[in-house]
Chain A
Amino acid sequence: MMTFFLSPLPHLRAATALMVCTLAGLAPASAAWAAPYTATHASNRGNNGPSVTFSAEQVTHGAQIYAGACAMCHGADLEGGHDVPDLGNYFMARWANTPLDRLAGYITHAMPLMAPGTLPPQDTAALVAFVLHHNGVTATSNTPLPMEEARQAKIRIPAPQALAAAPASKP
């Protein structure tokens, strides 16, 4: 069995397809070794301010933008690499409790690295929704994540709540 290194595109398409199927409520099968550690962001309230909302459409759109503009460096699974920051666990730890406008602003000004400033606000908001969703953050409603900086500033990125009791996984 050989792996072909022709183009990263098939991976990206696969990632998008996976996202769509997750949104449709079809949980992808996952093997025991990698039970996704997501049930930890359950509470997305309690840090003084409105809770995060984003729409399923934003997540889907964000996945497309991600595949085209971000996955090349950050990886099809947002895993990053030795020299590239991940957008998973470490990312959430770095950004937890930060106002959302900082993240959106950073993406707008600095990303993608090879063409900063090229993402319109709706794409940036969609990307943020996609990344939060990928990290197990659940939206409290289907209201889209706002694009305006002033409204984003009132929302804080939820902290992962790994210390909360979660069902024990058996080997």
Chain B
Amino acid sequence: MKRRDLFAASLAAGIVGATRRGWASVPEASAALGRTALHGTIPRLVPIRAHADQITDIKVCLRPFRPAGPRLEVEHVAGKTVVHNYGHGGSGWSLSWGSAHMAVGHAAATLERKVAVIGCGIIGLTSALTAQRAGFDVTIYTRDLLPHTRSVRANGSWTPDSRIALTQQAGPGFAKTWEQMARYSWQTYRDYLGLPGNPIDFRDNYTLSDTPLDAADHAPEQVDPAKGSFATTGAPQNSAEFAIYASQISDIIPAAELLAGADNPFPVAYARRTPLMIYNFGAYGHLLLSEFYQAGGRIVIREFHSPSDLADLPERVVINCPGYAARDLWNDKSLIPVRGQTSWLPPQPDALYAVEYRGAAMISKSDGVMIQGYDMNGLGEMDGVGNSFEHPDRAEAEKAIAIIGDLFARFQPRNG
């Protein structure tokens, strides 16, 4: 099962003790995992109306995954100082501000006053804003604005170590870099909470299961030695190869709590609740763009066909944020596509929460109800790896929606 859940469990346990600590053994962790949600704190939940005939949109995206983690180096090309900032896997939204802070630091060291940013996905936009805040005069050069980028085809929640690297290929040094990025981002996001339109918000996320969550957490990761590993085959082969760093920031991320039987409103035996930070793409995207223009930023629509095209830019420093497109544009063959798909149903402002059940996730956001089948075939982190079919799969969408639909078909709303 997913080790991510193990951490959620351990985080819950961590709250109980006075000091932060790790568990010496799995039984110790499960014994300690006892904090249940305060009785009466589960609000009366309006059921989610999930049915395939409500689909408004199906979006497909390729996560820009690099086994060594995102590329943040400085390179000198076409007479420019190029600071790379791409390859954030399934964590680009979450890590954007921290990654931008690092990239702009490299740009600042040039003592230039003007900088060009390539790309207007979430990495390009946050890099551009961070550069403005560091005193740069910024021009974004991009083929597409945010609504047409892969970024808005994401799930859009705090997932800072989702397919961000392979533990071994990234090495222990990246674990530290990741922590700096994640902490910086998390703190920056707090500045966007509580604003009109709720660009950034929190949802109660209910993780549901028919079997004990605890047992699932502690089941060892399935590793098939016959498949080999990235080291032997050049491609990840097992979920266990993917890096998990969440425990490093458990001191600032809300922990999960168990729902005791009487409080559990869902038609499943096991449930827990975790406050989850989410991104409302519409409100947040517009806010970032207005901030950029208000601070004097410029956007030039332009497609680059080769790194040598940078030569005719007036700026001498370039922050390069093309996402997955770097595979061709910068010939970075270490980028591995990880396909993912989200379906969108009409907004349900009366039911603002999230659930995860049988490999499908639902988040009720201001711009729609998002449903994603993230692990419906038992592949764990390997789901979508190496798959670059960036075209909607209606059958997959309907399957994911049916999981959520079936859950709510059995749901008995309770009074009070």
Could you tell me which A residues sit within 8 Å of B by CB distance? 1-6, 29-35, 37, 40, 75, 77, 79, 81-83, 86, 88-90, 92-93, 96, 159-160, 162-163, 165-169, 171
Contacts of A2 in B (CB 8 A): 10, 21-23, 247
Stretch among B65-73, B284-292, B401-409 lining the A interface:
B65-73
Complex-state Cα separation, A33 to B99, whole angstroms: 12
Determine whether the beta carbon of A165 is less than 8 Å from that of B76: yes
Give the contacting residue for B180; candidates A6, A29, A37, A79; CB below 8 A.
Answer: A79
- Contacting residues of chain B (1-59) with chain A, CB-CB under 8 angstroms: 10, 19-23
Determine whether the beta carbon of A162 is less than 8 Å from that of B81: yes
Give the contacting residue for B105; candidates A5, A6, A88, A166; CB below 8 A.
Answer: A88
- Interface band, chain B: 35 or more
Which of B69, B70, B73, B109 has the largest count of A CB atoms less than 10 A from its CB?
B109
- Please provide the 10 A-B residue pairs with the shortest distance between their CB atoms, ordered closest to farther: A2-B22, A89-B105, A82-B187, A5-B20, A171-B332, A93-B108, A162-B110, A160-B109, A89-B109, A31-B171
Determine whether the beta carbon of B22 is less than 8 Å from that of A4: yes
In chain A, what residue has the closest Cβ to B86?
Answer: A171
Given contacts A5-B20, A163-B316, 13 further A-B contacts (CB under 8 A): A1-B244, A29-B171, A30-B173, A34-B72, A34-B177, A37-B109, A89-B105, A93-B108, A162-B106, A166-B74, A168-B77, A169-B73, A169-B74
Contacts of B169 in A (CB 8 A): 31
Determine whether the beta carbon of B106 is less than 8 Å from that of A33: no
Contacts of B317 in A (CB 8 A): 162-163
Cβ proximity bits B328-344 to A, threshold 8 Å, 1 near / 0 not:
00111110000000000
Could you tell me which B residues sit within 8 Å of A by CB distance? 10, 19-23, 66, 68-77, 81, 105-106, 108-112, 134, 169-171, 173-174, 176-177, 180, 183-184, 187-188, 244, 247-248, 251, 316-317, 326, 330-334
Contacts of B76 in A (CB 8 A): 165-168
Known: A6-B19, A37-B73. A159 touches B105 (CB 8 A): no
Min Cβ gap B91→A in Å is: 14
Contacts of B68 in A (CB 8 A): 31-33
Contacts of A169 in B (CB 8 A): 73-75
Min Cβ gap B406→A in Å is: 36
Contacts of B10 in A (CB 8 A): 2
Known: A35-B73, A82-B183. A4 touches B21 (CB 8 A): yes
26 CB contacts below 8 A, A to B, read A2-B22, A2-B23, A3-B247, A4-B20, A6-B19, A31-B69, A31-B174, A33-B174, A34-B174, A34-B177, A37-B106, A37-B109, A81-B183, A81-B187, A82-B187, A88-B105, A90-B134, A93-B108, A162-B74, A162-B81, A163-B317, A165-B76, A169-B74, A171-B326, A171-B331, A171-B334
